[in-house]
């Protein structure tokens, strides 16, 4: 059995419990090959003994519904609800590709997620409630499951000194603490525009000192690499570790 994520920081034993949030830009109906690639990664990690919970974002479909709702004068809470359902549908797509190893029903709450995790199957969630993003769902799941690692498979190579899409001079930060993370994120709470970690996700990972890896999710193997202990992307952890 592999050493697991803890080995990367001197925590013996494992494989452990890992929560992975995959951007909805990578798992959605327009990208069947990515759905297949992620299903293969999660299937092999599960067979290696890792306890896995996956959260899938809403991606382009969520943003299409949110934009339409905004144009139609719908309030932000209900815009978020549409994004939640889009994320849940993406989660169902991945669960179908992982059948029968995945729990068939995406949980709507932490309690439902714990019940699903108790079956030993891979739990796959979408959104939970308005005012947060799927990164918030992933952080809450990581805390509730005492996860050893939270992986954010996103659209950039890691955490930068500023938004790399807006600041070409932004530099990748391979290792940072929670305080630095708070400084370099915008912390938007606009439906469809929560970025990387929303305020809820940030506060949860900080209060429970959950190690977070931010990797580029355009290659599903990056997730397998960091779960097995490789140093890819950015690591967010307390400096004391
Ligand atoms: N300091 C930062 N480091 C990296 N990305 C950042 C930072 N600040 C803002 N971002 C933005 O956050 C985006 C990732 O968040 P988001 O679009 O919500 O991704 P996801 O689809 O994984 O949820 C990046 O594409 C980047 O433009
Ligand atoms: O628990 C949740 C999860 C998602 N969302 C909404 O659904 C959208 C899509 O989720 P997210 O932005 O996390 O997806 P991704 O950025 O991965 O496409 C978010 O922007 C929110 O508007 C929400 O309100 N609550």
Nearest atom within ligand 2 for CA of residue 131:
24
- Ligand number, closest to the Cα atom of 192: 2
Does residue 120 form part of some domain? yes
- CA–centroid distance, residue 216 to ligand 1 (Å): 10
Does residue 241 form part of some domain? no
Position 2 scores a pLDDT of 42
pLDDT band at 139 (very low <50, low <70, confident <90, very high): very high
Residue bearing the bigger pLDDT, 146 or 11: 146
Read off the tokens for 43: 């299937």
Position 188 scores a pLDDT of 86
Region 6-23: mean pLDDT is: 70
Number of domain units in the chain:
1
pTM for the full model? 0.95
Position 163 scores a pLDDT of 95
Closest C-alpha to ligand 2, atom 7 = 83
pLDDT > 90: what percent of the chain?
Answer: 90
CB 99 within 8 A of CB 107: no
pLDDT (tens digit per residue) in 71-98? 999 999 999 999 999 999 999 999 999 9
* Phi-psi group of 121: left, alpha or beta (phi > 0 → left; psi -120 to 50 → alpha; rest → beta): beta
Does residue 127 form part of some domain? yes
Q: Is 160 known as a binding-site position?
A: yes
> Is ipTM strictly over 0.90?
yes
Whether residue 11 has pLDDT greater than 60 = no
Residue 1: is it exposed, middle or buried by C-beta count within 10 angstroms (0-12/13-18/19+)? Answer: exposed
pLDDT band at 126 (very low <50, low <70, confident <90, very high): very high
DSSP per-residue string spanning the chain: ----GGGGGT--S---EEEEEE-TTTSSTT-HHHHHHHHHHHHHHHHTT-EEEEEE--HHHHHHHHHHHHHTT--HHHHHHHHHHHHHHHHHHHHHHTTTTB-SS--SSHHHHHHHHTTTSBEEE---STTS-HHHHHHHHHHHTT-SEEEEEESSSS-BSS-TTT-TT--B-SEE-HHHHHHH-----STT---SS-HHHHHHHHHTT--EEEEETTSTHHHHHHHTT---SEEE--TT-
- Ligand number, closest to the Cα atom of 129: 2
pLDDT band at 3 (very low <50, low <70, confident <90, very high): very low
User: What CATH number corresponds to the domain at position 90?
Assistant: 3.40.1160.10
Q: Is 128 known as a binding-site position?
A: yes
**Is the C-beta atom of 62 inside 6 A of ligand 1?**
no
**Is the C-beta atom of 185 inside 6 A of ligand 1?**
yes
Q: Which residues have C-beta atoms less than 6 Å from ligand 2?
A: 23-25, 57-59, 62, 66, 80, 83-84, 87, 127-130, 132-137, 191-192, 194
Angle at 124 between CA 140 and CA 207, to 5 degrees: 10
pLDDT (tens digit per residue) in 200-230? 999 999 999 999 999 999 999 999 999 999 9
Position 15 scores a pLDDT of 73
Does residue 163 form part of some domain? yes
**Is the C-beta atom of 195 inside 6 A of ligand 1?**
yes
pLDDT (tens digit per residue) in 21-60? 999 999 999 999 999 999 999 999 999 999 999 999 999 9
Does residue 165 form part of some domain? yes
Domain holding 141, by residue range, is 5-236
Does residue 10 form part of some domain? yes
**Is the C-beta atom of 160 inside 6 A of ligand 1?**
yes
Whether residue 9 has pLDDT greater than 60 = no
């Amino acid at each position: 059995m592999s050493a697991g994520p803890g080995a990367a920081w001197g925590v013996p034993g494992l494989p452990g419990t890992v929560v992975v949030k995959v951007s909805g830009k990578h798992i959605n109906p327009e990208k069947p090959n990515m759905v297949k690639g992620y299903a293969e990664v999660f299937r092999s990690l599960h067979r290696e003994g890792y306890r896995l919970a996956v959260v899938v974002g809403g991606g382009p479909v969520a943003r299409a519904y949110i934009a339409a709702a905004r144009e139609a004068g719908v309030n932000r809470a209900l815009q978020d609800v549409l994004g939640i359902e889009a994320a849940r549908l993406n989660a169902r797509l991945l669960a179908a590709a992982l059948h029968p190893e995945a729990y068939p029903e995406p949980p709507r709450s932490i309690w439902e997620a714990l019940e699903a995790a108790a079956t030993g199957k891979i739990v796959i969630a979408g959104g939970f409630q308005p005012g947060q993003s799927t990164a918030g769902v992933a952080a809450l799941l990581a805390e509730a499951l005492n996860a050893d690692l939270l992986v954010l498979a996103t659209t950039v190579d890691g955490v930068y000194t500023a938004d790399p899409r807006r600041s070409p001079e932004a530099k990748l930060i391979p290792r940072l603490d929670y305080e630095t993370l708070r400084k370099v994120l915008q912390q938007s709470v606009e439906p469809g525009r929560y970025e990387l970690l929303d305020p809820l996700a940030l506060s949860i990972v900080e209060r429970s000192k959950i190690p977070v890896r931010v990797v580029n999710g355009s290659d599903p193997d990056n997730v397998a690499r960091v779960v097995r202990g490789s140093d890819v992307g950015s690591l967010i952890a307390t400096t004391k570790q």
